[in-house]
Structure 1
């Protein structure tokens, strides 16, 4: 599972690089579908990732807002910091951790850590699909979502 997080982060970094070629207007422009802009999509992905991990750790939610990252450079920096935190989190994950039940404050439902981590992986992949649609609307090649040919770290623990 950690390898799929590495995959998502690698694809996210490639999207950040891709977005560096966009005008500021295109990066922030409200579009149809999803979170409505490249900027809002990245902000949303970072917020959801952080919120779920804090819930797993039993900590209060600290929503990420535009005040935390208002530019592409700030999003990239925030993403890098979160990846470091999540990698630290993964070093402590055991098979027992994956079966623990989490009850986030924003829902009345409870989920296993395993299901939450799977959700985070699928959630990012879902939103990358929206970025790809917008890229094509701009007549640009989207970032490749190919998993097979990527060089990813081996995280065979779980």
Structure 2
């Protein structure tokens, strides 16, 4: 589990670096598919990971959930990513097999209770980011830029 989160964090950081050479208007431009713009997609990835793990699995309360309007610049989203990773990483590192089948319950939009295993949610968070990274890759090609590699190998994750 940890290696896949580390992979996602490396790829995300690579995308932040990639974005530094893209005009802000292109980062904010509404695009076909996905959740909107390149920058909003990165914000969404960061926010979803943090919300599922910090708010839902860890059950922490926050005074106010952040909005994209508060973080609509590359540097602000990058800073939020670093801050939230600091919240999420200790939980990911402390993951044990006993946590896999723990149950998280929430009400769906119809008011019905749904139950999810913690392991299912963790894997959803991993897959969610990978899905959106694919969208960023398509948009990068539309801009005539080479996308960040999605390769898991050659990232040094298994060198130890």
Q: Give the corresponding residue for 2:142.
A: 137
Contact 1:19/1:27 (CA < 8 Å) preserved in 2? Answer: yes
> What per-residue deviation string (whole Å, max 9, x for no partner) do you get for residues 55-112 of structure 1?
0112347533124422111111111111121121124322212211012456632211
Please give the root-mean-square deviation of Cα atoms over the aligned residues, in Å: 1.9
Q: Taking structure 1 as the reference length, what is the TM-score of the superposition? A: 0.89
Of residues 135-144 and 81-90 in structure 1, the stretch that sits farther from structure 2 once superposed is 81-90
| Superposition deviation, residue 118 in structure 1 | 0.3
* CA spacing shift, 1:131–1:45, aligned 2, 3 Å: same
Q: Which residue of 2 aligns with 1:103?
A: 105
The aligned counterpart of 1:34 is 34
Q: Equivalents in 2 of 1:132, 1:46: separation in Å?
A: 17
Which residue matches 1:118?
A: 123
Q: Which moved more, 1:87-96 or 1:132-141?
A: 87-96
Aligned to 1:47: 47
Q: Give the conservation status (yes or no) of the 8 Å contact 1:18–1:143.
A: yes
TM-score normalised by the chain length of structure 2: 0.88
* CA distance 1:72–1:145, shift in 2 (3 Å): same
1:57-96 alignment, distance < 5 Å: 57-60=58-61, 63-96=65-98
How far apart in 1 are the matches of 2:2 and 2:107? 25
Provide the rounded CA distance (Å) in 2 between the counterparts of 1:76 and 1:153. 26
